[in-house]
Amino acid sequence: MLTKRTNILFDEQIFKYLVALADKGKTSVGELVRKAVIKVYIKPQINYRRMTSFKNILRLKKGLGHTTAKEIKQSINYGRKY
């Protein structure tokens, strides 16, 4: 939900370009800015977090050895009982 407001100053040229772009895409300048913020600042952070977690898991399970599908299913079913 959009609840926080801010004012942004742009060069006139950039602002004109953004208005034209928003008109073309039948959207608003605000929406363009929000999308750009997510693309530049939020998504890379999520990507980095996911990849770090993936690598951490590979590192953490080193030495655990092979666990069969049957053993995994047994531990799931055990958890469902208690």
Q: What is the binding site for another protein (CB under 8 A)?
A: 46-47, 49-54, 56-58, 60-69, 72-73, 75-76, 78-80
Helix (H, G, I), strand (E, B) or coil at 39: helix
Minimum distance from residue 44 beta carbon to another protein (Å):
11
**Residue 69: partners with Cβ closer than 8 Å, 6 or more residues away:** none
> Which are the contacts of 31, defined by CB distance < 8 A and separation ≥ 6?
22
CB of 29 to another protein, least distance (A): 26
Pick 28 or 47: Cβ nearer another protein: 47
In the complex with another protein, which residue's Cβ is closer, 2 or 64? 64
Give yes or no for a contact between 21 and 32, defined as CB atoms under 8 angstroms apart: yes
